[in-house]
Amino acid sequence: MTVLCLFLLASTLAACSNDAAEDRDEYAGLKFLLIDDEYCVMGFKSEYDNTPNVVIPGNYKGYPVTQINGYAFSSCAELVSVYIPNSVSSIGPYAFKGCDSLAEIRLSNSITDIGRNAFESCSSLTSFSIPSSITTIKDETFRNCKSLTSVDLPSSIEHINAGAFLNCTSLISIELPDSVSLVKEKAFMNCFSLVSAVVGSNVFTIETDAFKNCPKLVEIKNNSWFLNIRAGETDNGSIGYYAKHIYDIGESQLTERDGFIFYHDDDESLLLGYCGKQTDLTLPDGFTAYNGDVVTEYDVFNYAFLGQKSLCSVTFDGAATSIGNFAFALCRALRSVVIGAPVARIGFGAFAACNSLTSLTVGKSVTDIAIAAFLNSLSLDSVKFEDAEGWQISKTKDFAEYVSLESAELNDPQTAANYIKLDYFERYWRKVK
């Protein structure tokens, strides 16, 4: 009998020890706070700050886990993925702010509240599906999520608060569902890659600057019963300021080919940007437009590739006729550019602040280089002019006074590089015959 009791006691202690070890292995890195028989996740214990993957438990020590506290994981730079169970209904303000490596968040439709700035500056986040239980996207929830290319807004959303997507510079398109009635100030301000927006039928108010500085927002489908959106106007949050096509019936005039996004109408054809994953690009030799037109020439639009951080090289060959203002500015990894026919014009600041750019070829077809085209691209050390004859520079766009450059100097790649990035970067360039 004594032996049997000792055996049962040992088995019980072993089981308890195993349970404790399991808890310790899985959840010891998290801090919890018990409030009214429910646990709130407070964040990491200090020695676990570098944990890359987090699984929030649905229950902890017999009680449900229902909240993630404000600032819980703020600035956890090594955090890559988070799983949030069905038991959690609330994510506090600033909960994941500054989690630079956070790329995957799994959460359920049981979440009814996401606090302001909850995912601010999560710079590795590329997509996000907002739960259908959410009715308001709070202030600056996704501010500075600069890799965010797409977001799915469910039909439960009624309000999009101030700065909700401010500075989401990679966001390509947005569809405001019919449930949305209010878009507050600066909600989508500085979304430089945004090319299209759909405005739902019940959108009643778009506040000041909600879409300010969205220079590629060329197409708007306006289903609203209340808003009169006009091209070139700053009302309705400037949503129509850059628009070329505003419609309520009919079809989109945008086309995607191999990740390249094009716009086409009777007057112009534009390359608006790139949403693929290639780092070495040769621009397409044309595209088939939405209406079946075969387009063989197009302009690279202003800001088209602005800030594309993974772009390493680009070759123009066969269809692009001009390069717009700031089209490749701030492409920090861009090393090599070859500009072939039929490109005639390089716009203002087109390759500004391309810190890694070392090699440039200027084709025979180029006749016009705008002021500051290569501003602060100071690593440029080799520029090849395929035709160095007839180049002039001037302080003014009308070339009322100008200086002619010697072809022998421009035929030297290093001299040409110094001219274009330093000596004459504040000049207009033109080629005459």
Residues 70-107 have pLDDT tens digits of: 999 999 999 999 999 999 999 999 999 999 999 999 99
pLDDT for residue 13 is more than 80: no
Query: Is 0.75 surpassed by the pTM of this model?
Result: yes
Query: Is residue 321 within 8 Å of 297, Cβ to Cβ?
Result: yes
- Could you tell me how many residues make up the chain? 433
The whole-number pLDDT of residue 28 equals: 66
Smallest CA-to-CA distance from 372 within 422, 306, 409, 316 is with 422
Calculate mean pLDDT across residues 353-382.
Answer: 98
406 DSSP assignment:
P
| Ranges 49-63, 91-105, 360-374: which has the least confidence | 49-63
| CA–CA distance, 363 with 112 (Å, rounded to integer) | 57
Across all residues in the chain, what is the average pLDDT? 93
pLDDT for residue 311 is more than 80: yes
| Burial of 10 (C-beta count, 10 Å sphere; 0-12/13-18/19+) | exposed
62 DSSP assignment:
T
* The pairing of beta strand 81-83 with beta strand 104-106: parallel
The whole-number pLDDT of residue 240 equals: 98
Calculate mean pLDDT across residues 173-192.
Answer: 98
Q: Which domains, and CATH codes, for the chain?
A: 27-125 (3.80.10.10), 156-252 (3.80.10.10), 254-431 (3.80.10.10)
Buried b (16+ CB within 10 A) or exposed e, 385-420: bebbeebebbeeeeeeebeebeeeebebbebbbbbb
The whole-number pLDDT of residue 146 equals: 96
Q: What is the 3-state secondary structure (H, E, C) of 12-55?
A: HHHHHHHHHHHHHHHHCCEEEEEECCEEEEEEECHHHCCCCEEE
Confidence of residue 9 (pLDDT cuts 50, 70, 90): very low
The whole-number pLDDT of residue 25 equals: 35
Q: Which residue has the tokens 């066969």?
A: 318
Please name every residue paired with 430 in a beta bridge, in sequence order, or none if there are none: 368, 392
The whole-number pLDDT of residue 310 equals: 95
> Rounded to whole angstroms, what are the CA distances from 378 to 73, 95, 183, 335?
39, 40, 41, 12
Between 72 and 14, whose confidence is greater?
72
- One DSSP character per residue, 83-103 reads E--TT--EE-TTTTTT-TT--
Strands (E), 318-426: 320-323, 336-339, 345-346, 359-362, 368-369, 382-385, 391-394, 403-404
Confidence of residue 10 (pLDDT cuts 50, 70, 90): very low
Question: Vertex 281, ends 280 and 282: CA angle to 5°?
Answer: 135
Both tokens assigned to 88 = 């959690």
Which distant-in-sequence residues (6+ apart) come within 8 Å of 121 by Cβ?
A: 97, 98, 99, 100, 143, 144, 145
- One DSSP character per residue, 233-301 reads --TGGGTTTT-SEEESSS---EEEETTEEEEE-SS-EEEEEE-S--SEEE--S-EE-TTS-EE--EEEP
Please name every residue paired with 32 in a beta bridge, in sequence order, or none if there are none: 41
Residues of the chain above pLDDT 70, percent: 94
Which distant-in-sequence residues (6+ apart) come within 8 Å of 388 by Cβ?
A: 407, 408, 410, 411, 416
| CA–CA distance, 175 with 262 (Å, rounded to integer) | 19
Calculate mean pLDDT across residues 61-77.
Answer: 96
Instruction: Name the helix (H) or strand (E) containing 428.
Output: strand 428-431
Both tokens assigned to 397 = 């766009």
The whole-number pLDDT of residue 3 equals: 40
Q: What is the CA radius of gyration of the chain?
A: 28
Calculate mean pLDDT across residues 408-421.
Answer: 97
